[in-house]
């Protein structure tokens, strides 16, 4: 199954395109521009996540509660999108979830350690968007952020917004 390679290359091209597009001539990007890039990538991911969850839950029974949804995201959804299950799911039972993936597929090609750690955010924004989009179509508005302390391990923090 080599399709994943194609996705990985496409993802890299998307990231570099978005960064080139937002970058002004002065070379170094300031934090505002960087934030814009992240949000563009995040929004692209959001739409993709919505599409995937539609396809994935086409004929599945409805979910019991929030935790049930999160479990589904960690198992089935993660397997389909990132080709492995989430290694660890933690929650404070107040709407905050931490999903830890020890070998996140989009980081494995980058580094195995602390090298390029500063580059990690731009390769995670799209994935954060995917998760947020998926949750959104399951009826949960959320904020998803990612945090890396050592590659290729990654923690996604999901904060469910209570209405």
Partner 1 sequence: MSRQSNRATDSKKMNSELFTLTYGALVTQLCKDYENDEEVNKQLDKMGYNIGVRLIEDFLARSSIGRCQDFRETADVIAKVAFKMYLGITPSVTNWSPAGDEFSLILENNPLVDFVELPDNHSTLIYSNLLCGILRGALEMVQMAVDVRFAQDTLRGDNVTEIRMRFIKRIEENHPAGDKCGVLLNSHIFCTMKKIFNLVSRLVKH
Enumerate binding residues for partner 1 (CB under 8 A).
1-7, 9-11, 13-14, 16-18, 21, 40, 44-45, 47-48, 51-52, 55-56, 60-61, 71-72, 75-76, 79-81, 83, 126
Widest Cα–Cα separation across the chain: 53
Nearer to partner 1, 43 or 159 (CB): 43
Exposure on the CB side of residue 134, measured as CA atoms within 13 A:
25
77 vs 156, beta carbon nearer partner 1? 77
Check: CB of residue 153 under 8 Å from CB of residue 100.
yes
Give the Cα separation of 155 and 102 in Å (integer).
8
Coil, helix or strand at residue 49:
helix
Q: What is d(CA 1, CA 34) in angstroms, rounded to the nearest whole number? A: 34
Q: How far apart are CA 73 and CA 78, in angstroms?
A: 6
Task: Kindly state the smallest distance separating residue 150's Cβ from partner 1, in Å.
Answer: 26
| Smaller CB separation from partner 1, 4 or 150 | 4
Residue 103 or 159: which CB sits closer to partner 1? 103
């Amino acid at each position: 199954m080599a399709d994943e390679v194609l996705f990985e290359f496409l993802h890299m091209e998307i990231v570099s395109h978005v960064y080139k597009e937002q970058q002004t001539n002065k070379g170094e990007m300031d934090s505002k521009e960087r934030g814009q890039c992240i949000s563009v990538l995040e929004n692209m991911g959001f739409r993709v996540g919505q599409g995937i969850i539609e396809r994935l839950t086409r004929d599945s029974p409805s979910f019991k509660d929030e935790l049930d949804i999160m479990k589904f995201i960690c198992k089935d959804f993660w397997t389909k999108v990132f080709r492995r299950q989430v290694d660890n799911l933690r929650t404070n039972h107040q709407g905050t979830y931490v999903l830890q993936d020890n070998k996140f597929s989009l980081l494995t090609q980058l580094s195995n350690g602390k090298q390029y750690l500063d580059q990690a955010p731009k390769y995670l924004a799209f994935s954060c968007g995917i998760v947020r989009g998926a949750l959104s179509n399951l009826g949960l508005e959320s904020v998803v952020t990612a945090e890396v302390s050592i590659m290729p391990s990654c923690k996604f923090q999901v904060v469910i917004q209570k209405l």
